Structure 1
Amino acid sequence: MLAAVEARLIATFGEPSGRAAVTFLGADRIEVLRFGPDADGLVRYTTLGMSAAPMADPTSPVVDQVRGPRVELVLTVRGGRDGVLRSLATFAATPQVEGLVLAPGGSLDLGAPLWEGAPFTSVLAAEPGGLVEDLELAEPAEPVRFLPLLPMTPNEAGWKRVHGAAALQERWLDRGTDLRDPDRRGVTLD
């Protein structure tokens, strides 16, 4: 299945310009692929391996190895920041290690900069389908969805916890925020 996921990513972004792999205790191997920069200077980082098993509700007494949501993560950064590779692998391992089910509107917090000098410590998972089409799997497995990640400053993450993901995304849109800018400042939060 991971070969099909990688083929979907290559069909969308072209051949990877780099890759790294990380293994965490208690989790399967996670790869992070680097695509680009493209003609606009955008570099896309994608996880590969997070979708190998479905995410499971940690309160469920039985873990279904076939049914359940499967995702991979996609982060787009203008100019690229390869220091984000380990952060993405950490995010991708979180469902296995902590029993988290990540869905659009959810967030992941690293508690440290996403890369050295980054003003962001967490990410918001956006709706899939815009960058990479879902990858259908044989029934009864759910499709693999590719969730774009939107970097958040600590203040934005706190504001999102109070007001919700939709309100933060609307704030970004209203202010014309370039979420791919690795050096952007946090949006004004009134």
Structure 2
Amino acid sequence: MRTSLGEPDARAAITFLGTDRIEVLRFVDDQVVRYATLGMSAQPMADPTAVVADPLKGPRAELVLSVKAGRADTDKALRPLAVLAASPQVEGVVVAPGASLDVGEPLWPGAPFTSVLVGEPGGLVEDLELDAPMDPVRFLPLLPMTPNEAAWKRVHGAQALQERWLASGTDLRDPARKSVPLDVTPE
């Protein structure tokens, strides 16, 4: 992460009962604040239907949220991000691109978002290769969704929502953005 994002200027650690410690690092440049989890990839994510989880094999990931600096008190997103990062250990979910993750409350005070869409890895931070037989760590971007967008995504799918954002010129890093228009077909 340091190679791609620089040195973190702040970090917070949270431990949930029965889970490993999760840290959230903050990286700031002049215009964008990025929050990245650290610790989610310590254990591979296991298929919740598996009888026994493999301690080495399985997908590994960390989460990255990028927002424009100075437009909202986004530092309060540290706890919700740690909750999302702990969800594979707590709930047995496998976090993958196209998935929706919901925290049930605003991501930060006054945020119009209570959930995120997990984006495709490889854009901002490259995968981190680990020794075989371990899977690489993938750095998954989180795209904040309004409740209306999350509901629309459940019906139409992640790809359709991303196309709607693109067609509308939605700035997904704007911490105060409004929901994309969902009732009309994009041109």
Whether these two folds match at TM > 0.5 is: yes
Q: Secondary structure of the equivalent of 1:91?
A: helix
Match of 1:182 in 2: 175
Instruction: Give the whole-Å Cα distance in 1 for the aligned partners of 2:137 and 2:90.
Output: 19
Displacement of 1:58: 1.1
Which residue identity lines up with residue 59 of structure 2 in the other structure?
A: P
Q: How many residues align?
A: 180
Stretches of structure 2 that go unaligned for 5 or more consecutive residues are none
Counterpart selection for 2:113 from 116, 120, 123: 120
Match of 2:122 in 1: 129
Instruction: Give the whole-Å Cα distance in 2 for the aligned partners of 1:65 and 1:186.
Output: 40
* TM-score between the two structures when normalised by the length of structure 2: 0.95
> Once superposed, which parts of structure 1, at least 4 consecutive aligned residues long, lie more than 2 Å away?
none
Counterpart selection for 2:7 from 9, 15, 25: 15
Instruction: Give the whole-Å Cα distance in 2 for the aligned partners of 1:89 and 1:62.
Output: 25
Displacement of 1:79: 1.0
Match of 1:85 in 2: 78
Q: Secondary structure of the equivalent of 2:79?
A: helix
Instruction: Give the whole-Å Cα distance in 1 for the aligned partners of 2:69 and 2:165.
Output: 21
Match of 1:71 in 2: 61
Instruction: Give the whole-Å Cα distance in 2 for the aligned partners of 1:43 and 1:112.
Output: 21
Alignment pair present for 1:140 and 2:130: no
Instruction: Give the whole-Å Cα distance in 2 for the aligned partners of 1:102 and 1:50.
Output: 10
Q: Secondary structure of the equivalent of 1:32?
A: strand
Of all paired residues, the percent bearing the same amino acid is: 71
Instruction: Give the whole-Å Cα distance in 2 for the aligned partners of 1:136 and 1:44.
Output: 22
Stretches of structure 1 that go unaligned for 5 or more consecutive residues are 1-8
